[in-house]
Amino acid sequence: MQGSQNRPLRLGDLEAERCKEQAPLSAFAPAAAASILASGRQAGIKRYRAVLNTIVSILFDGLAWAMFLFIISVGLSVTMGLMGVVNLAHGAFAMAGGYLVMTATASWGVPFLASLVITFLVVACVSVLFERTLYAQLYGASELDQVLLTIGLSFMAIATYTYFYGPLPQAIHVPDYLLGEVHLGARSFPTYRVFLIVVGAALVAALWYGFERTNMGAKIRATVDNRRMAQSVGIDVDRLFTFTFAIGSGLAALGGGLAIQLLGLTPSFAVIYLVFFLLVVAVGGSGSMWGTLAAALALGICDTAGKYLFADAGSFAIYAVAVLILLIKPAGLYGRE
């Protein structure tokens, strides 16, 4: 390939080469040759743009979906890593959060954003009751017992909410500034999903700060690392468990409230999405916020890509990816053996 040896080959170089090759022809039909060249270049750019567009779509949609998974799963991951409890009722806390947000916005006229904060606080406080009475019995219990007790709790929650709210799907009215689209250059993105990504990012930042820069965060990290050592150093592990469980459940409730606009809300929400949260926690490694984030991103984006590109078998992707990762790293991406 001719061309300067000192600079890297660029797109224009190839065009230039083709130009030189076609030079003899163009002597006879310069206009024709020029138009062929131009259309070929146009088609190439168009296809390039289409591919780029697809990639951007997949990344954006995948990111929004990943944020939803992250917000709900991070609480589950931390409580599992910290307390060693498999909490299959985590989805029920998310569902409860959703119903609280719905009731607050519809019946009490509370603005949407405020109701999200309220649901976080209320569910966090209520979960303390459950932690002190039921979950405290599960520390040190066998995995099977934990699975069954929390499934039982889920069932009771679903039955209770069906009784009070009925089985019909609920919807909320999000404020108008969260609807519609946001235009960034040539593309537009749904505003609500941008909002979801922003909330997710803010949460990551807040959690990072909480874990790395605060006293409480340090205690949590220490206890996840080595509980006995932490206890002997004087950390009140029981109080820590309660606090972490509350934060985790509160975050689940927040995620549930955010999810209504995305997925709708029925009492069955508690169990039908539980599979995804378990996938994220297992793939990320329990006890690790970064692990949950990495897993949520990987699984969320792969799920979206699979659905976009191979809709026939698209739902396969998330499970296949999870299984592959777990086969190689059973403790998860950021997990510890």
Partner 1 sequence: MDANNPSPSSLVGTVAAERAHAVDFLARRDRFRVAEALPWLLAMAAYFVFPNQMILGGQTLIMILFALSLDLILGFAGIVTLGHAAYFGVGAYGAALLITDLGWSEPISGLVCGAVLAAIAGFLSGWLLLRYRGLALLVLTLSTTIMLQQLGNLFRDFTGGYDGIPGINIAPLFGLFDYDLYGHTYYLYSLGVLLIALYAVRRIVYSPFGQALVGLRENVARMHALGSPVHWRLVIAYTISAGLAGVAGALFAQTNTLVTLGVFDFDQSAAVLMMLILGGAGWLYGAFVGAVLYMVLQNELAKISPAFWQFGIGLLLIAVVLLSRHGVFGRLANVGRLSPWGARP
Partner 2 sequence: MKIMGALAASLLALCWAGTSNAETIKVGVVLPYSGPNSDLGNQVDKAFDLYVKLHAKDLGDNKIELVKRDEGPVSGANARTVVTELITNDKVKLLAGFVFSPSAIAAAPLAAQAKIPMIIANAGTAWITNLSPYIVRFSFSMWDPAYPMGTYAAKDLHCKTAAAGFTDFPPGQDSTLAFKTAFEKAGGKVIDEVRMGSPGPVPDFTPFFQRVKDEHPDCFYVFVPSGSHAGGVMKTYGDLGMRQAGIRLIGPMDLIPDYELAHMSDAAIGLVVMSSYADDYDTPMNKAFVKDWHEAYGPNSYPDFMSAASMDTMAGIFHAINTLHGNLDDGAKVIDTLKGWKHDGLRGPIQIDPETRDVIQDEHAEEVIKKPDGKLGVKVLQTFPQVKDECKVLKIGRCASGT
Residues that bind partner 1 (CB under 8 A): 80, 86, 134, 137, 141-145, 147-149, 151-160, 162-163, 275, 278-279, 281-283, 286, 312-313, 315-316, 319-320, 322-323, 326-327, 330-332
Q: How far apart (Å, rounded) are the C-alpha atoms in residues 317 and 304?
A: 9
**Closest CB to partner 1 among residues 70, 195:** 70
Residue 4 CA, distance from chain mean position: 47
Interface with partner 2 (CB under 8 A), residue from 119, 150, 154, 266 = 266
In terms of C-beta density within 10 A (0-12 exposed, 13-18 middle, 19 or more buried), how is residue 279 classed? buried
Subset of 192-231 contacting partner 2 (CB under 8 A)? 192-193
**Closest CB to partner 2 among residues 40, 264:** 264
Subset of 143-162 contacting partner 2 (CB under 8 A)? 162
Quote the least distance from Cβ 159 to partner 1, whole Å: 4
Quote the least distance from Cβ 119 to partner 1, whole Å: 23
151 makes contact, choosing from partner 1, partner 2, none, with CB < 5 to 8 Å by partner type, with partner 1
**Closest CB to partner 2 among residues 176, 337:** 176
**Closest CB to partner 2 among residues 85, 102:** 102
Going by C-alpha positions, the residue among 77, 88, 82, 84 that lies closest to residue 290 is 77
Contact 72, 94 (CB under 8 A): yes
Quote the least distance from Cβ 261 to partner 2, whole Å: 7
Q: How far apart (Å, rounded) are the C-alpha atoms in residues 90 and 271?
A: 9
Instruction: Report CA-CA distances (Å) from 256 to 116, 168, 235, 262.
Output: 9, 17, 32, 10
**Closest CB to partner 1 among residues 33, 151:** 151
**Closest CB to partner 1 among residues 74, 172:** 74
Site string for partner 2, 161-190 (x = CB under 8 A): -x---xxxx-x-x-----xxx------x-x
Match 């949460």 to its residue by tokens.
203
156 makes contact, choosing from partner 1, partner 2, none, with CB < 5 to 8 Å by partner type, with partner 1
61 makes contact, choosing from partner 1, partner 2, none, with CB < 5 to 8 Å by partner type, with partner 2
Quote the least distance from Cβ 252 to partner 2, whole Å: 17
The SS3 of residue 189 is strand
- At 31, the amino acid letter reads A
For every residue of 265-296, DSSP letters joined together read: B-TTHHHHTHHHHHHHHHHH-TT-HHHHHHHH
Contact 215, 204 (CB under 8 A): no
- Judged by CB under 8 A, how many residues of this single chain contact partner 2? 40
80 makes contact, choosing from partner 1, partner 2, none, with CB < 5 to 8 Å by partner type, with partner 1
Interface with partner 2 (CB under 8 A), residue from 123, 304, 333, 335 = 304
Contact 170, 99 (CB under 8 A): yes
For every residue of 47-81, DSSP letters joined together read: HHHHHHHHHHHHHHHHHHHHHHHHHHHHHHHHHHH
Interface with partner 2 (CB under 8 A), residue from 57, 103, 126, 128 = 57
CA dihedral 163, 165, 169, 171 (to 10 degrees): -170
Going by C-alpha positions, the residue among 85, 77, 75, 118 that lies closest to residue 99 is 118
Binding site for partner 2 (CB under 8 A): 50, 53-54, 57-58, 61, 64-65, 162, 166-169, 171, 173, 179-181, 188, 190-193, 261-266, 268, 272-273, 304-305, 307-308, 311-312, 314-315
